[in-house]
Every structure is written in C-alpha cells, then in structure tokens.
Amino acid sequence: MSIPAFNEIIEQNDQTEARRASLDAIAGLVGNVYPNKFARTSVSGGEDTITALKHFDKIAGVEAKMAEIKASLAEGERPPAEKKDALNEELKALGNVRIAGRLTTPTRGNFVHLTDGMSKLQVYCNKKGPLALVRNDGENTLDEENGWALWQLLDHGDLIGVEGYLFVTNTGEVSVHVEKLQFLAKAMLPMPDKMHGIADPELQRRYRYADLIASTLQVEHEGLTTREVFERRAKLISGMRRFLDDAGFIEVETPMLTPKATGAAAKPFETHHNALDIPLYARVAPELYLKRLVVGGFEKVYELNRNFRNEGLSQRHNPEFTMLEFYIAYMDVNGMMDFAEKMIKEAVAKANDGNLVVKYGENEIDFGNFERITMRDAVARVSEPPASAGGVNSTGTESDKNETGMAITSVPPAHAGGSDLLAAFEEHIEHTLIQPTFIIDYPKSISPLSKADPSNPNIAERFELFINGMEVANGFSELNDPKEQYERFVDQMSERERGDEEAMVLDEDYIRALSYGMPPAAGIGIGIDRLVMLLTNKHSIRDVILFPHMRPDRKEGEKGSGGEGEKEA
C-alpha cells in the first residue's frame, strides 16, 4: 500500500499556495504556529473556563441597555454619543477579556468577526496601536512592534485568540478592542462560500467538518443549520435519558459483538475473534441481553447505543444507527404504549423549544396526539370502496381506487398467514400514517419474541409506532415462556432453511435464561435517527448522522459516473 504525500492529500492551487506562504510568514513572527492552549475568559470573570461568544454581549447588562437606548431612536438613527460613551466607560472598567475563534473574513480592515461555531463576536484592531503580538514561545513574550503585521497576514478561517476591552460601536454592536493578538492555528484550505455554504448533499456528508464550518459562516439559511440539527438531536437524546433516569431506570451497556445475531430479523455484519477463534457478529439489537437483565432483577433497564445491519441504504436506512431500547417488568403492551407516548412528548418538547407540533415537508405533525388502531382495521379502511363500486375489489390494482384515492385491497382472512396482512399493510397503509399512530395487534407469526393475546392466540401483543409513513418504534409484551420461545425460534430456523437470511437463529443461552423465570414485562425499541429526521425536517437519515457510511473518496480521474445513491433497503 503506497502512502500519499501530504501535498497529495491537500489540493494544490493558488489559494492553498497563498495560505502556505502566509503560514511561513506568520511562523517568522510568532514561532510555533500551533500553540498548545489559549486561556479564555468566562462571563463570570475567571480564566480557563470554556465559554460561548454569545454571552459576552450580556456582560453588565449591555444587551438590555443597548436595547433600551435603541428603542428611543428612529430607524437607522445611531445611539447618542454621550450614552454610548457612558456605556463604553462602564464596559472598559470591567477589565480585559480573552476570546478565541475562527475568522469569518480576511483581516483586510479594522473590524472582523470571530466565531466559535455557535455565535459571532466582532473584534477591532487599530493600526496605530496599541496592538501587541503574542509569541508562541512558551513564555508568551510580547512583541509590541508587529501586531499589525500579523493582523494583515491572517486569512479567512484562521483561528486566533485576542485580549482587549469590550465596547459598543457607533451602530451599537458589542465588540472587543484588541490589545494583544495571538495566532492559534492556520486554515490551509479555503473556507466554504459564505452565501451558499456547501450545496452538494454528498459533500456535506463526506466532509461534515467543513459543513459545520460552512453553517456557521453562511449569511442566510433555510431551516436549521447543520449545527442546530445536531444540537436538537442532542437535546432529544438527553431528554429521553432524563425521563428514564427520573423514572428509576438503570442504563447499561450490552455487547456490541455477539456470538449470535439475534434480537431482530436482520442480516448482520460478520467478523472473527482471533484469540478465541470464534465468529462474532455486530449486534442487530440488544434485546435478548436486556431481557437477560430483566431475568436477573433489573426491573427497569435501558440502553441507548448503536445497532448494525448489513442491509441496503435508503433515505430511512443506514447500516449503523442509534436505538433506544428499554424494558419494564410487570407491565404489558398497553402500559408500554402509554409510557412511551408520554416520554416522546416530553423529549420532543424539550428538543423543540416546548412545541409539540413540527413541520415536516408539507405536513404538520402533532406529537400531542397519538392514535391507536389494529393492523387489520387499518387495512380495512382502504378495502372498503364507496357504495357505487359494488363491493370489495381484491385485486388492489392502481386503477381501482376508493374514495380516499388509495388503492383498494382485500383484507386477508383471519386464517391467512401474517405475512399476507403485513404485505397489505406495508403496500397500502404504512405511507398514509402521517400523524403519530400506534398500529397494534400484529400477527403472532411475524412476532417471534412477543406474547400472544390471551383472547386470540393468532395475535401478538405488539405495536409499532408510525409517523409520516415511517416506523419509529416497535414494542410488545415480552414472551417469557421458555418452551414457547424455543418453539418460536425453531419456526424461525425453518424460515432460514427456506431462504430467509433475516430470520432469527436459535439462542440456547437465552432459552436457559428464561428458564430461571422472567417476570411479565414490556419492551420497546425507538429509532433515534428517524425521530430526529422528523424534528429537524430532514428527509435523509444521512443528514441526521454526523458521519454516515459512504464509499471512500476517490481521485477525480477515478470517479465513476454514479454517486452515493441511496438504494432502497
């Protein structure tokens, strides 16, 4: 394997050559161009505390005071000099602050903005000084002569630290008057376009670091910025964790590499453990391990982690994805639906500024209202044509429509296999479920880990939650009869022998665990990525995963005609 040279990794053009020359000149002034640290000032006044730039305009109530001054002005009128000067004296008396960030423009004038990825703060340098350069020599020696020379060498995207006092400009913008300037890191590559950011979705996903920078520098945005998408994701996850922790759950970690690919109907990734000389599989679901813990006495247990499925890519499928899975002892499927609905509502409100209604494409989704309907009744809704149609048409062809405009299909008879009902549901119903809907009463034959309904042995006490035509969650009353679970596994093994690669395999140790006695319990798995898609109005799962799977980048001359197409799984 040949190792590429550094200059082969970083593209060579006029811009990168100019930046390299700039870096050489800066090194001559400051010494080390990649210093180890820079102590920033916190709003409370202490140093060595990481702080956001957005808080500095709130020091000493300056934001509120400027708002009060501006309220008395006509549009476009500048603040009176005496009021501005009085405020500036108050700010200067607070002493110097130290801030750091990325330059949003080249330093060709006196004013520029620094960004920390979340917000921006303006800084001002005066050619006439005082403006000292801080040498990165370990002692932070001051060079009183070359501060402006360093300022002129800085490029768009460079990282700098400054020390100075706060003031407000004639337009009322809070800024830092720089007295000391320290170089922190060089942007060797040019920054993304400020007006449009990175427009190509493939490049956004492949170079997420550049996409995050672009979303901060971009002047105008439609919808959430990339950073805001992942901040909302983090809020959703923290809201769910807090809800479960407050409810008395314990969070656990179960194996990511397992000797058997069980817990879900899916094709696994395979590997080999050299020391043990055994095959291992990247887990498709943590379910059977979590239920082992229920057997062991963990009555409320959850795991929020990654699952892996060696299947196709689509706008809704990524081979590596995040799931929240939890179990509650002595609860059934109905209690789990109630609990999950409450948790999702609270987590959505936390992530969405208290709002339960979100815009997704052309739809408004109301997370404050969840419907429940059986799978059979859902299919029956579109199997009944208007009276003039003269009865139910079982062909379900595209030309046969009911009054809702959906294709007419017959409801499979109760004695038919569960796969027939599921196929009718997936073809005709699933995509129509826009508002949060629990589909309940799944056929037992397609639910190998769930209890049967006591009143109907062909029905499983199982539900799936659909929102905007996507499955978001799957839950059920957990099967805890070891003999029946064994028989269900045997049925699944028969399906594998008939060619179903995704059918489950027999897990002997899980049968042994159940044989110690597992209390009645209910469980659920929630797809975090899909829920984030809904909360951020993103239509590809790759846009809510920081680093989605993609083919390795290739040199321009080696690229094929195809891109990273999302092939439906």
Helix H, strand E, coil C: the string for 420-433 is HHHHHHHHHCHHHC
Question: Residue 129 region, left (φ>0) first, then alpha (ψ -120 to 50), else beta?
Answer: left
For the cut 60, the answer to whether the pLDDT of residue 423 exceeds it is: yes
Instruction: Give the pLDDT confidence score for residue 409 in this predicted structure.
Output: 55
Going by C-beta distance under 8 Å and a sequence separation of 6 or more, which residues neighbour residue 25?
Answer: 153
Look up the CATH architecture of domain 226-369+473-546.
2-Layer Sandwich (3.30)
For the cut 70, the answer to whether the pLDDT of residue 364 exceeds it is: yes
Going by C-beta distance under 8 Å and a sequence separation of 6 or more, which residues neighbour residue 120?
Answer: 53, 101, 104, 113, 114, 216
Question: What phi, psi does 182 have (nearest 5°)?
Answer: -130, 130
Question: What phi, psi does 523 have (nearest 5°)?
Answer: -140, 165
In words, the CATH class of domain 6-191 is: mainly beta
**Domain residue spans of the chain:** 6-191, 226-369+473-546
Mean pLDDT of 85-91: 90
**What tokens appear for 206 in the block?**
């492949």
Helix (H, G, I), strand (E, B) or coil at 463: strand
Mean pLDDT of 132-136: 93
Task: Report which of 547, 550, 543 is spatially closest to residue 229, judged by C-alpha positions.
Answer: 543
CB of 343 within 8 A of CB of 240?
A: yes
Of residues 394 and 64, more confidence is placed in 64
Confidence class for position 309, pLDDT limits 50, 70, 90: very high
Report the run of H or E that residue 3 belongs to, with start and end.
none
Instruction: Give the pLDDT confidence score for residue 300 in this predicted structure.
Output: 99
Using CA atoms, how far apart are residues 365 and 372, in angstroms rounded to an integer?
Answer: 16
Confidence class for position 65, pLDDT limits 50, 70, 90: confident
Task: Provide the angle, in degrees to the nearest 10, between the axes of the packed helices 226-246 and 528-536.
Answer: 130
Report the run of H or E that residue 158 belongs to, with start and end.
none
CB of 348 within 8 A of CB of 236?
A: yes
For the cut 50, the answer to whether the pLDDT of residue 393 exceeds it is: no
Confidence class for position 72, pLDDT limits 50, 70, 90: confident
Instruction: Give the pLDDT confidence score for residue 414 in this predicted structure.
Output: 54
